[in-house]
Copies of this chain bind each other. A is one copy, B any other.
Amino acid sequence: MRRTKQEAEETRLAIMSKALELFSEKGIAATSLSEIASGAGVTRGAIYWHFKNKWDLFDAIWQHYCEPIDRLGQASHDEDETDPLGKLAELLKLILINAEQDVDFRRMLIMCMRETSIWSGEVPERIEAFIDEIHQRRIRTLRNAMRKGQLPDTLDAEAGSLMIKVMIEGVIVSWLQRPQCFSIAERADQIVDSILVVLRHGVRLPGS
Taking CB atoms, residues of chain B closer than 8 Å to A177 are 118
Cβ of A26 and Cβ of B117 under 8 Å apart? Answer: no
Cβ of B174 and Cβ of A206 under 8 Å apart? Answer: yes
Taking CB atoms, residues of chain B closer than 8 Å to A27 are 119
Indicate if A176 sits at the interface (CB-CB under 8 A): yes
Interface residues of A in 98-143 (CB under 8 A from B): 113-114, 117-121
Indicate if A182 sits at the interface (CB-CB under 8 A): yes
Report whether over half of chain A's contact residues are helix, strand or loop; otherwise say mixed: loop
**A32 CB to nearest B CB, Å:** 14
Taking CB atoms, residues of chain B closer than 8 Å to A182 are 206-207
Given B120, B181, B206, B207, which contacts A119 in the complex, CB threshold below 8 Å? B120
Q: Count how many chain A residues have C-beta atoms less than 8 Å from C-beta atoms of the other chain.
A: 18
Indicate if A173 sits at the interface (CB-CB under 8 A): yes
A30 to B207, CA, bound (A): 35
Interface residues of A in 161-208 (CB under 8 A from B): 173-174, 176-177, 181-182, 206-207
**A157 CB to nearest B CB, Å:** 19
Taking CB atoms, residues of chain B closer than 8 Å to A113 are 119
Taking CB atoms, residues of chain B closer than 8 Å to A174 are 206
Taking CB atoms, residues of chain B closer than 8 Å to A173 are 118
A182 to B173, CA, bound (A): 27
Given B114, B118, B207, which contacts A181 in the complex, CB threshold below 8 Å? B207
A121 to B25, CA, bound (A): 9
Which of A114, A119, A177, A207 has the most chain B CB atoms closer than 10 A to its own CB? A119
**A97 CB to nearest B CB, Å:** 18
A206 to B170, CA, bound (A): 13
Chain A interface (Cβ < 8 Å from any Cβ of B): 26-27, 30, 113-114, 117-121, 173-174, 176-177, 181-182, 206-207
Q: Shortest 10 CB-CB distances between A and B: which pairs?
A: A114-B119, A117-B119, A118-B173, A181-B207, A182-B207, A117-B117, A182-B206, A119-B119, A118-B177, A118-B176
